[in-house]
Each structure stands twice: as C-alpha cells, then as structure tokens.
Chain A
Amino acid sequence: MLKIENLHARVEEKEILKGINLEVKPGEVHAIMGPNGSGKSTLASVIAGREDFEVTEGSISLSGEDLGALDPEERAHAGVFLSFQYPVEIPGVTVTNFIKAAINESRKAKGLEDMPANEMLSKIREKSSLLEIDRKFLSRSLNEGFSGGEKKRNEIFQMAMLEPKLAILDETDSGLDIDALRIVANGVNKLRNKDNAIVVITHYQRLLDYIVPDHVHVLYNGRIVKSGTKELAFELEEKGYDWIKAENE
C-alpha cells in the first residue's frame, strides 16, 4: 500500500530525512519510534505533503500512485489521512460542518455529487456511536476549547468518517491521560481492517499496549536504523534510546 524509497527531505538547508525506506501492506499496523528530533513528525508531514519540507530525493507512493507531485488535498483524496499531534482550532466552524466540507470536497474530486444530507447524518450517527462520542460534541467549534483527549478523539472521528486507505497517527498519545488513551486506541482498533493500513508514530511504548503493531521501526537521525516485531518496542522501553544512539554513533 504505502511504499517509501530512499526518501530524503530537508527544511531550508537542514536535511532531516536521510534515506527512508518503508513498505506498509494493507491490513498492517506499523509503529515508528525514536527519540525527539529523529525526524518522526517530519516523515508524517512529508507523506501528507506539507510544503515546508522539500523532498530532495526518493519517492512515496500509495497503492502504486506516486504522491510526489500531488498537493496535500490531492493526497487526502487519494486516501492519506494524518491525525495531527497538535490539531488546530477553527473558530465558528462546527465539527459537523468541517467534516461535511471534507467529505464533499473529496467526493467532488472524484466527480461525485455532495453526499445527501440524510446519508451524511446517518454516517455521523454511526461513527460517533462507534467511537462513543457525545453528539453535542459535534456542534462545537472545531477544536476550540477542546481538552487534549477531545482533540485526539475528534481526529479519530474524522478518520472514521473519511475512511482513508492509510492513516498516520502522529503522537496521538501525547497529552492524553490513561483513560483518554484507552478510548482513542479502542477507536483506532475498531477502524482497523484488512484493506487499510495504519502508521503509528510514538515516543513511548504505552500506546502500543493498546494498538498492537505488526512491525516496529526505530527512526534515528533521519534513518530507520532498526526494524522488528512488537518485542522491539519493549526492548526500547527497557533500554531507552541511548542504546540506539550508542549503536549509531
């Protein structure tokens, strides 16, 4: 599904990604771990097409389609979803209105009519009850005054509504207490299926107790320096990142 080959990217003069190779197959969950500043969030942004980063070498493709030349919204239409580490506020735009715009824009890009209101409504009902989201929440302004847990839950709600092929969860556990973490992780698990793929970017192993990955990769200094199964995450938790750093100096 997702294929990244020899990806190099920089911001201004600083090279951050220095040759990433990664393949994620449908139905798989991959975790990308690593110390601060190793390039995890950059990788997420580059896949989503953020223009602050310049791709200098390599390629990213989704189901065989090269994403390199696509704008961020076109990548979204192709099935890329990024759950943001810091979701932004858009005052005056309700969660419902926002998701409606997002769905209809994607449909428009595919040459489809707007989703009929009743279909939209029943989909919103279905997904909000799946994720145990109070309906009142949906008429609040997007992320405005949301707690950390609400923001992340809102991200997962959008993921449920948009049904992407590839979901990248960037530090979805940051800022969550253990209860919120469990709720968000349960939501993600409910959305897993054999046709989509999930990349979980995290600092800590604890999220992986709930979202169990098929593969774990360690990103350090712009490269994937170690890959393994979920046991690798436990090893990292135990030994810390110094172990990786020492190996790669």
Chain B
Amino acid sequence: MCLTIQTRNVLADVEKVFHSNQLRETMAYTEEELKKELETKEYEYGFYTDIESDTLPKGLNEDIVRAISQKKEEPEWMTTWRLEAFAQWKKMEEPEWANVHYEKPNFQDISYYSAPNKKPKYDSLDEVDPELLDTFKKLGISIDEQKKLAGVAVDIVMDSVSVATTFKKTLAEKGIIFCSISEAIKEHPELVKKYIGSVVPAKDNFYAALNSAVFSDGSFCYIPKGVRCPMELSTYFRINQAGTGQFERTLVIADQGSYVSYLEGCTAPSRDENQLHAAVVELIALDDAEIKYSTVQNWFPGNKEGKGGVFNFVTKRGLCERSAKISWTQVETGSAVTWKYPSCILKGDHSVGEFYSIAVTNNFQQADTGTKMVHLGKNTKSTIISKGISAGKSQNSYRGLVQIGPRAENARNFSQCDSLLMGNECGAHTFPYIEAKNKSAQIEHEATTSKIGEDQIFYCNQRGIETEKAIALIVNGFSKEVLNKLPMEFAVEAQKLLEISLEGSVG
C-alpha cells in the first residue's frame, strides 16, 4: 500500500551536483568558466512537476478555511479549531521586529490548498502518477534503492498532501504511529485533540495562527511509553505548485521514557515569485522521553539578484516534562528570508534543551534565526551552539532568548554564537536576550566573529588544496560542533550542501 522512498533523496541529488563539481576540477576550468557555470547551475532542484492538482481559488476567508477542512474530510472539532485560529489571525499583524526586509506577502493572493489530484493511496508503485515518479527520479531516488532501503521511514509532503508513508508495519509492531497529520486527525483524534496547539497555541504568533487555520498536511508521530524508535523517522517537504503556500503541521509526541530521532528535509522549485512557507512543529517529550529533531533546509533561496525564493516563517517549539530532553539540530542553507526559532520549554524538573544550528546565507538571502530556552523547572539545562556563515550580500542574524523563571532553581545555560564572514558585503548580527528571575541561575554566553581570510585560502592552496575545497574545509571546521550532532547520513548530506551553497563566494 505504500511507496518506499529513499531517505537520502536530497543527498542523491546533491551527489549529482558534487560529481559534476569534481568533473569540473579535473577539467581545470578557468575562473571565468567556473563563474558562468555557477550562475547557470544555481539551484538544481528547480524543476516543476506538472501533476494535475486540485487547487483552491486564491484568497483567504472563512469559506476557504471550511473548504480545506471539508476537502480533508475532517471532523467538526477540527473545523471549529481552524475557524477559531482564523478569527485570531485576522486580529493579528505581521511581526516586524526581525532583522529582515522583504515585501510582505499578499495573503489574498495565495492559494491555500493544492493537492495532487490522484488520491495518495497506492497498492504498488505502478499506480503512482508517472509524473510524480519522475519528480522522485529527479530527486535521485531510484526505485531499486527504495526497495532495498532499510532503516528509515519517510513521509513525503509534496504540495501539502502527504503522498506516501513507509515502514508503517515495522513501526506498528512497536505501537509507533507515524502518518500524515490528516490521517492522524481521522484515526487518532484523541491524541491530536489533546496535543495540537498545546505547545504552539493558535494565537501564538501571526504565522502560527495562519498555519493553524489553513494547514494542509504534515506529519504526525507518536512513540508509546518506554519504546525506543528503531529507525530514524523522516519527512520530506517540497513546494511544487505556483502561487501556493505550504503550511505543514508536524506533531511529535514521545510518551514517557521513549526515544525518537526525527529528520526533516526540504526543497522547492525555483520560481520568480516568492513562495510562502509557514510551518508549525510541536514536540512533546513526556517524563524521561527524548526527541532529537534534525532539519536540513534547502528551500530555493532566490536567484543571485535576490529575485524569488521561499519566505520561510516557521514556528517550532518543544515541551519537556520531567527529565525529558529535546535537541534541535538544523542546517539552514536555503530560503530568501528565514524567520525561525526552534525553542524548548523546560517545564519539568531536570529537563534538558539543546539547539545546534548552522545557518548559511549567500547572495541576497536574509536569515533571522535562533532559539528560545525557557527554564521553568528546577535543575534544567540548556545548550545553544549557533554557527552563522554569511557570504555575498546576505544578512545573517542570531536571535536567542534564555529565560529563567522564578521557580527554576539551579538552571544552567551555555550559549555560543559564532559568525563566519566571507567577503565584505555581507553582515552577521547577534541579538542575545537573557531574562533571569532566579538568582541561582548560571548563564554563559560566548560569541566570536571571524572572516575567511585570503591568508587561510592561500595557505590551503600552497598545500595543494584548491580554493573551493579550501572553503569547504574551513567552513566544515567552523561548523564541526554542529555537524557532529547530526545523524550520520544527514551529516554527509549537510556537509555537501554547505559546500554547494558557498561555491563561488570567494575570489
């Protein structure tokens, strides 16, 4: 019934890029040719799949919200929940405090629902829309590979509807639920009802409210008490249809003493117009549970003049109960504008929050990203390691809040924010906020800014390492502490993505 999808789909494509890159080296191109190639190469995921899709008219009102809910055959309580969120959203204004500048999306000019027309239920691969399979091929997912694939379950969200989920059976044996959120609303309403909006309430912020009203699909995961999820769970997001926004909703619940590692990858076709992506991710780690959530985000960043690209306005937050742990690891190389602060509410005593981030900006990209660590329980601990890499004319900001509540005895935080600059036209900014209401708190903050110097490049060159490779080496060294936190196959992918995102940015 389900389609098997290689988890390393992004990697496969990246590898293609990488191979052509190696080819280039051996052919000893001139710098001019290299530049030209980079200009034409730019964003390799920029193909558009012409699948018949069922798209709602542009614009947003109560009827559209109802229509989305209806199309998804949702129960009444979900429709009501969406409508309440919509009512909240109408009263809210788009936030302006972030260090990013962009033309605000016209929310009435977006289509809020676009589903591939053929129903996403397949008995075998033969039944899958051939165009869709073609898309997968372009992403480098070979069917053969899919078949022998082991160890990873993937849920693909392409233009809003979850197309396929795999390994359900293996997971089901352990009582693990891993499915699209739409399915969860129907099949597991008690869990969804209890937890959706419990960490990120609909009225939390402008984009979260919008998402709550119109979310089209996303992933749902529940790990039962004491179960260690035997494989990495993975979701893969892709925006396809023109003029659509993607509003996915992810809900991960780790019951007492359970463990799960969750991976999320993203790409989008290149288009001239900006595409909006406003996701909400909620994590719930009950007592003694651990959730590791890793993201490699490679949305289309816009072309080198800064035209097009994805607006990535995402709310990610996790709640830790007693002795629970949540780790966010992210490698962000895409999007024209990023607004994203994966956070941890350390509610339970002895709970732990971690945030490891690499954010790369090139050309005209802008990123305002960081985290919030809210210490409520006693003996809570948080670690923040943020690595910002800016090249071209991009602006890269770290914004972080460490909040220690009055009851949080012996709370500890360590933050480290490092910025690496390439060239003279980019910017790196750090906005750390600390609010401590308990005197026993220990908070440390370290920050550095450095530049990839011509001296470093020449030193590498002199040892026989060509410039692109030298940059990759330096950037990897700079990002090492974060790369080390990623699951193995993701780390390799992330390393290559870093290389590609920064190609041609020096010299």
What residues of A have a CB within 8 angstroms of the CB of B467 in the complex? Answer: 73
Complex contact B469–A105 (CB within 8 A): yes
> 23 A-B Cβ contacts within 8 A?
A52-B454, A71-B461, A72-B458, A73-B464, A76-B461, A76-B462, A82-B462, A84-B459, A84-B462, A90-B456, A90-B459, A90-B473, A92-B481, A93-B474, A93-B477, A98-B463, A101-B463, A102-B464, A105-B469, A108-B26, A109-B464, A141-B477, A142-B477
Is B476 an interface residue, CB under 8 A from the partner? yes
Complex contact B455–A90 (CB within 8 A): no
Is B439 an interface residue, CB under 8 A from the partner? no
Complex Cα–Cα for A158 and B464 (A):
12
Complex contact B462–A72 (CB within 8 A): yes
Complex contact A90–B458 (CB within 8 A): no
> Which partner residue on chain B sits nearest A109 by CB separation?
B464
Interface string of A208-232 (1 = CB under 8 A from B): 0000000000000000000000000
Is B81 an interface residue, CB under 8 A from the partner? no
Shortest CB–CB separation between residue A107 and chain B, in angstroms? 9
Shortest CB–CB separation between residue A88 and chain B, in angstroms? 5
Interface string of A66-100 (1 = CB under 8 A from B): 00000111011100111010011011110001110
Shortest CB–CB separation between residue B451 and chain A, in angstroms? 12
Complex contact B461–A73 (CB within 8 A): yes
> Which partner residue on chain B sits nearest A80 by CB separation?
B462
Complex contact A106–B474 (CB within 8 A): no
Complex contact A88–B478 (CB within 8 A): no
B residues adjacent to A (C-beta < 8 A): 25-26, 450, 453-456, 458-467, 469, 473-474, 476-481
Shortest CB–CB separation between residue B498 and chain A, in angstroms? 13
Is A62 an interface residue, CB under 8 A from the partner? no
Given A91-B477, A93-B476, do A50 and B464 touch, yes or no (CB 8 Å)? no
Complex contact B464–A76 (CB within 8 A): yes
> Which partner residue on chain A sits nearest B480 by CB separation?
A92
What residues of A have a CB within 8 angstroms of the CB of B25 in the complex? Answer: 108
Complex Cα–Cα for A168 and B77 (A):
77
Complex Cα–Cα for A91 and B481 (A):
11
Is A60 an interface residue, CB under 8 A from the partner? no
Complex Cα–Cα for A106 and B469 (A):
12
Given A84-B459, A87-B459, A88-B459, do A102 and B465 touch, yes or no (CB 8 Å)? yes
Counted as pairs of residues, one from A and one from B, with CB atoms less than 8 Å apart, the total is: 79
Is A160 an interface residue, CB under 8 A from the partner? no
Is A138 an interface residue, CB under 8 A from the partner? no
Q: Report which of B464, B477, B478 forms a contact with A105, defined as CB distance below 8 A.
A: B464
Shortest CB–CB separation between residue A80 and chain B, in angstroms? 8
For B26, B455, B476, B481, the residue with the greatest tally of chain A CB atoms inside 10 Å of its CB is B455
Complex Cα–Cα for A97 and B469 (A):
13
Complex contact B456–A101 (CB within 8 A): no
Complex Cα–Cα for A84 and B466 (A):
18
Is A162 an interface residue, CB under 8 A from the partner? yes
Is A181 an interface residue, CB under 8 A from the partner? no
Complex contact A106–B478 (CB within 8 A): no
Q: Known contacts A75-B462, A101-B465; can you find 9 more A-B pairs with CB under 8 A?
A: A51-B458, A76-B461, A87-B459, A92-B476, A92-B480, A99-B463, A102-B460, A102-B463, A105-B463
What residues of B have a CB within 8 angstroms of the CB of A142 in the complex? Answer: 477
> Which partner residue on chain A sits nearest B455 by CB separation?
A88
Given A50-B458, A88-B453, A92-B479, do A158 and B474 touch, yes or no (CB 8 Å)? no
What residues of A have a CB within 8 angstroms of the CB of B476 in the complex? Answer: 92-93
What residues of B have a CB within 8 angstroms of the CB of A52 in the complex? Answer: 454
Is A46 an interface residue, CB under 8 A from the partner? no
> Which partner residue on chain A sits nearest B463 by CB separation?
A102
Shortest CB–CB separation between residue B507 and chain A, in angstroms? 9
What residues of A have a CB within 8 angstroms of the CB of B464 in the complex? Answer: 73, 76-77, 102-103, 105-106, 109, 162
Shortest CB–CB separation between residue B478 and chain A, in angstroms? 6
Complex contact B477–A92 (CB within 8 A): yes
What residues of A have a CB within 8 angstroms of the CB of B469 in the complex? Answer: 101, 105
Is A185 an interface residue, CB under 8 A from the partner? no
Complex Cα–Cα for A142 and B473 (A):
12
Shortest CB–CB separation between residue B442 and chain A, in angstroms? 25
What residues of B have a CB within 8 angstroms of the CB of A48 in the complex? Answer: 462
> Which partner residue on chain A sits nearest B469 by CB separation?
A105
What residues of B have a CB within 8 angstroms of the CB of A75 in the complex? Answer: 462
Complex Cα–Cα for A20 and B480 (A):
45
Interface string of A183-203 (1 = CB under 8 A from B): 000000000000000000000
What residues of B have a CB within 8 angstroms of the CB of A109 in the complex? Answer: 464
> Which partner residue on chain B sits nearest A89 by CB separation?
B456
Q: Report which of B455, B463, B473 forms a contact with A162, defined as CB distance below 8 A.
A: B463
Shortest CB–CB separation between residue A35 and chain B, in angstroms? 24
Interface string of A42-69 (1 = CB under 8 A from B): 0000001111100000000000000000
Complex contact B477–A90 (CB within 8 A): yes
Complex Cα–Cα for A73 and B459 (A):
10
What residues of A have a CB within 8 angstroms of the CB of B466 in the complex? Answer: 71, 73, 105
Shortest CB–CB separation between residue B25 and chain A, in angstroms? 8
For A92, A97, A98, A103, the residue with the greatest tally of chain B CB atoms inside 10 Å of its CB is A92
Given A87-B459, A101-B473, do A92 and B478 touch, yes or no (CB 8 Å)? yes
> Which partner residue on chain B sits nearest A52 by CB separation?
B454
Complex contact A158–B477 (CB within 8 A): no
Complex Cα–Cα for A143 and B450 (A):
16
Complex Cα–Cα for A84 and B455 (A):
11
Complex Cα–Cα for A88 and B462 (A):
12
Q: Report which of A73, A80, A87, A141 forms a contact with B465, defined as CB distance below 8 A.
A: A73
What residues of B have a CB within 8 angstroms of the CB of A82 in the complex? Answer: 462
Complex Cα–Cα for A162 and B467 (A):
19
Complex Cα–Cα for A247 and B259 (A):
80
What residues of A have a CB within 8 angstroms of the CB of B26 in the complex? Answer: 108
Complex contact B478–A72 (CB within 8 A): no
Shortest CB–CB separation between residue B122 and chain A, in angstroms? 42
What residues of A have a CB within 8 angstroms of the CB of B481 in the complex? Answer: 92
Complex contact B478–A158 (CB within 8 A): no
Complex Cα–Cα for A81 and B461 (A):
11
Shortest CB–CB separation between residue A87 and chain B, in angstroms? 7
